[in-house]
Amino acid sequence: MSLVSGPALAIAMTAVAALPRSAAVVSAAGVAAIGRYDDTAGRVDGAKGFRGHLGALRSGRLTSGSVKVLGIGAAGLLTAIRLGPRRPGDVLLGGAVVAGCANLVNLLDLRPGRALKVGTAAALALGDLGVAGSCAALLPADLGERTMLGDAGANALGAVLGSRLAAVLPGRRARLAALGVLAGLSMASERVSFTAVIEGSPPLRWLDQLGRRP
């Protein structure tokens, strides 16, 4: 299965995302490059999950996942800076929201079309028609299992959505609340399978399977 849709989505979002151009470049193209590194190097380093990569880091071994965490964190901070002048605390908070969304969308990208469906809905909710259209355009090939996003596309999509979320939230309390939700979902994923939750809910299961090959 081709991974071409990941870079294609990143390029499209760089051009059409409802963000300052420099922020779009960092959050889409920059995060896609980091994800692409993990797509290739992550096959051989052996560590899995956030705990696995942190455990490897504590033992002195730098895995591709650790590089990705650090790289996406740095990209999130750069994006937050590009979104506009803010106090250092606001930049840290905005960067954490960007990185948290990048991680969450990647965690959802476990079935054909799932991440792009979530991306389309989230982009529409955030008022970013360009990103919604980019996701929708790639959805048929993803559902047909001809292409897949990989970490490059899923992380980039999440980062762009996180950038838009950080830009439109009305204040620090709202961004803190969003970060709390993102962190809670990421921690929950270490113990609970998102796929199992979706499969256990008939409405979510129907949406998840909509358009997929039998």
* Span 76-111, pLDDT tens digits: 999 999 988 778 889 999 999 999 999 999 999 999
Contact 53, 63 (CB under 8 A): yes
- 119 within 8 A of 135, measured Cβ to Cβ: yes
Note the pLDDT of residue 81.
Answer: 93
Spatial contact of 162 and 27, defined as CB atoms under 8 Å apart: yes
Task: Inform me whether the pLDDT recorded for 47 exceeds 60.
Answer: no
3-state secondary structure of 2: strand
Return the pLDDT at 119.
Answer: 97
Burial of 149 (0-12, 13-18, 19+ CB in 10 A): buried
Indicate whether 69 pLDDT > 60.
Answer: yes
Question: pLDDT value at position 80?
Answer: 93
Tell me: the pLDDT tens digits for 5-46? 999 999 999 999 999 999 999 999 999 999 888 777 765 455
- Determine if the pTM surpasses 0.95: no
Rounded average pLDDT over 110-139? 96
